[in-house]
Amino acid sequence: MVKAVVGANWGDEGKGKITDMLAEKADYIVRFQGGANAGHTIVNDYGKFALHTLPSGVFYGHTTSVIGNGVALNIPILFNEIKSITDKGVPMPKIAVSNRAQIVMPYHILFDQYEEERLGKASFGSTKSGIAPFYSDKYAKIGFQVSELFDDELLEEKIPRVCAQKNVLLEHLYHKDPIDEKELLNTLHEYRDMIAPYVTDVSLLLNQALKDNKTILLEGQLGTLKDPDHGIYPMVTSSSTLAAYGAIGAGLPPYEIKQIVTVCKAYSSAVGAGAFVSEIFGDEADELRRRGGDGGEFGATTGRPRRMGWFDCVASKYGCRLQGTTDVAFTVLDVLGYLDEIPVCVAYEIDGKQTTEFPVTADLNKAKPVLQKLPGWKCEIRGIKDYDALPENCRNYIEFIEERIGYPITMVSNGPGRSDIIYRNK
Ligand code: GDP
């Protein structure tokens, strides 16, 4: 069986924790898109970890961690990540990297930086991990697949061909040094040696696993609103963040994805530029940011303070629909225990009209939040295991949101740890 864990919003919903939890009963945990540009924060018995490339299930001895063909693979980062966890006493994980995954090249990272500098105020707020230049090259068909690292004849022909084009931009658009082709070939040889032990035909591996009745968990990065097709284009990421893409980015039949757990955080946060209708500012935002997540809402990859906002029913309903949600995991609810009243964005007002349907970007930029205040519960809810033991106002908050988004909240997360979870039978 295949399950997916994906985000409903802008990312940072707490997917890492939910995946880590569901991974206990899974055999393969698969990254199917994105790169090292976002991170998951996971707290477990070994300590606290920020993962950027490895799937969250990497801490279990029984799972295989899989990097699918859809991923933007940064080989040195993957390596350092493996080292960082084994250095802290985690047993060496089983890892399979798709022979069809493509490689983030050193020049992708440079192009990302140079382009953001060139754009100045109009920049995307990129994490400068090379993701947009990487996917541009993939679709322009000048990317490098993992399998190509093992073919010197191909590399010797392809490197000069690709560099010829890159160097024009480097010299004339960005006024930087051109790529040294010899150095690049050496780097790719180093990458080849680093990745060799893990290279696998991932689609074949996973399809065989299905025949053997194994459980495969697809782990999404970011959330619906960052999807290049259905998100807040152009302030999106460069690969699809939707569960449906899990079939492509891992080489699995789409009809095998039976459960889609969409993670929604009990309030909103976003990184990077782009419309964020329920955003809050000043002291109100600072307090939520400081109390949020586990030790504050700051980027796992960049340390940047996240933009904060109230729960957005319009964006989350849309986010859940596009994912094809079967279950909502409602996270970080414990954080809201300090508020007397909790505002929730229940609709958008656009040109004087109210709507609960998420609009295209031009309209989104004009949208103003319609807020409704719900009574807070004013107490600590960490440690509670039964839904019925939650304070009444807390249950009302969950059920109010569930009704507005239209998908069943079957899991409520009330703390960062693996066991801080309340299951609801729906
Ligand atoms: P991801 O990218 O979607 O995995 O999100 P993050 O890594 O940014 O996770 C959000 C943060 O919230 C992390 O620091 C988690 O440890 C933390 N977290 C996850 N679930 C909960 C929860 O229910 N309560 C609290 N307080 N923190 C949580």
Where does ligand 1 bind, in terms of residues with CB under 6 Å? 7, 11-17, 38, 40-41, 43, 293-294, 300, 331-332, 334-335, 413-416, 420
**288, 332, 413, best to mutate for ligand 1 pocket (most atoms within 8 Å of CB):** 332
Q: How far apart are CA 262 and CA 319, in angstroms?
A: 8
How far, in Å, from the CA of 292 to the mean position of ligand 1?
A: 8
Q: Measure 237 CA to ligand 1 centroid, in angstroms.
A: 20
Rounded to whole angstroms, the Cα distance separating 425 from 386 reads: 11
φ, ψ of residue 148 to 5 degrees: the values are -70, -20
Per the CB < 8 A criterion, the answer to whether 405 and 316 are in contact is yes
**255 Cβ contact list (under 8 Å, min separation 6):** none
Which of 5, 17, 333, 423 gets mutated to test ligand 1 (max ligand atoms within 8 A of its CB)? 17
Residue 426 confidence (pLDDT): 65
| Ligand 1 centroid to residue 267 C-alpha, Å | 12
Distance from C-alpha of 35 to C-alpha of 52, rounded to nearest angstrom: 7
Residues present in the chain in total: 426
Distances in Å between the Cα of 222 and the Cα atoms of 36, 38, 319, 362 are: 11, 7, 11, 22
Nearest CA to ligand 1 atom 28: 416
What integer pLDDT is reported at residue 109 of this predicted model?
A: 95
The two tokens of residue 332 are 């970080």
> In this structure, what is the dihedral angle of CA atoms 379, 382, 383, 389, given to the nearest 10 degrees?
50
Q: Whose CA is nearest to atom 10 of ligand 1?
A: 14
Instruction: Say what the pLDDT of residue 172 is.
Output: 95
Q: Which of 299, 276, 296 is nearest to 287 (CA)?
A: 296
The C-alpha R_g of the chain, in whole angstroms, comes to 22
Q: Which residues of 304-331 are buried (b: 16+ CB within 10 A; e: fewer)?
A: ebbbbbbbbbbbbbbbbbbbebbbbbbb
How far apart CA 226 and CA 57 sit, in angstroms, is 23
Q: What is the pLDDT of residue 294?
A: 80
Maximum distance among all alpha carbons in the chain? 68
Please, how many CA atoms are within 13 Å of residue 348, restricted to the half-sphere of its CB?
26
Determine the 3-state secondary structure of 413 from DSSP. strand
Q: Which atom of ligand 1 is nearest to the CA of 415?
A: 24
How many helices, marked H, and strands, marked E, lie in the chain? 12, 21
H/E element, 343: strand 341-350
Angle at 298 between CA 292 and CA 303, to 5 degrees: 165
Report the nearest atom of ligand 1 relative to the CA of 292: 26
Q: Residue 392: its pLDDT value, please?
A: 98
Burial class (CB in 10 A: 0-12, 13-18, 19+), 281: exposed
Q: Are 120 and 81 in contact (CB under 8 A)?
A: no
pLDDT at 60: 86
What is the atom index within ligand 1 of the atom nearest the CA of 7?
3
Q: Which of 27, 40, 312, 420 is catalytic?
A: 40
CA 83 – ligand 1 centroid, Å: 23
Kindly name the residue from 12, 20, 112, 137 that is annotated as catalytic: 12
- 3-class state of residue 47 by DSSP: strand
Q: Say how far apart CA 117 and CA 259 lie, in whole Å.
A: 42
Nearest CA to ligand 1 atom 16: 416
Q: Which pLDDT belongs to residue 56?
A: 80
Report d(CA 117, CA 127) in Å as an integer: 12
User: Which ligand 1 atom sits nearest the alpha carbon of residue 221?
Assistant: 2
| Close Cβ partners of 392 (under 8 Å, ≥ 6 residues apart) | 377
Given the structure tokens 């983030």, which residue do they identify? 104
Ligand 1, pocket-test mutation among 9, 41, 43, most atoms within 8 A of CB: 41
- Cα 177 from Cα 320, distance rounded (Å): 45
> All domains of the chain, ordered by start, with CATH?
2-89+203-423 (3.90.170.10), 102-197 (1.10.300.10)
The tens-digit pLDDT sequence of the chain (426 residues) is 999 999 999 988 999 889 888 999 999 999 999 998 777 777 778 888 878 899 888 888 899 999 999 999 999 999 999 998 999 988 899 999 999 999 999 999 999 999 989 988 888 777 788 999 999 999 999 999 999 999 999 999 999 999 999 999 999 999 999 999 999 999 999 999 999 999 999 999 999 999 999 999 999 999 999 999 999 999 999 999 999 999 999 999 999 999 999 999 999 999 888 899 999 999 999 999 999 988 899 876 667 899 999 999 999 999 999 999 999 999 999 999 999 999 999 999 999 999 999 999 999 999 999 999 999 999 999 999 999 999 999 999 999 999 999 999 999 999 998 899 999 976
Strands 216-219 and 279-280: unpaired
**Nearest by Cα to 250 from 19, 33, 5, 26:** 33
Using the mean position of ligand 1's atoms as its centre, give its distance from the Cα of residue 44 in Å: 12
Residue 263 alpha carbon, nearest atom of ligand 1: 3
Please give the helix or strand (H or E) that residue 108 lies within, else none.
helix 106-119
Q: Categorise residue 11: left if φ over 0, alpha if ψ from -120 to 50, beta otherwise.
A: left
Q: Of 5, 78, 12, 35, give the one whose Cα is nearest residue 238.
A: 35
Residue 12 a catalytic site member: yes
Quick check: 210 and 216 in contact, CB under 8 A?
Answer: yes
pLDDT at 301: 63
The predicted structure's pLDDT at residue 46: 86
**Distances in whole angstroms, Cα of residue 384 to Cα of each of 20, 296, 408:** 20, 22, 20
Q: Which atom of ligand 1 is nearest to the CA of 48?
A: 16
Nearest one of 332, 329, 330 to 297, comparing CA atoms: 332
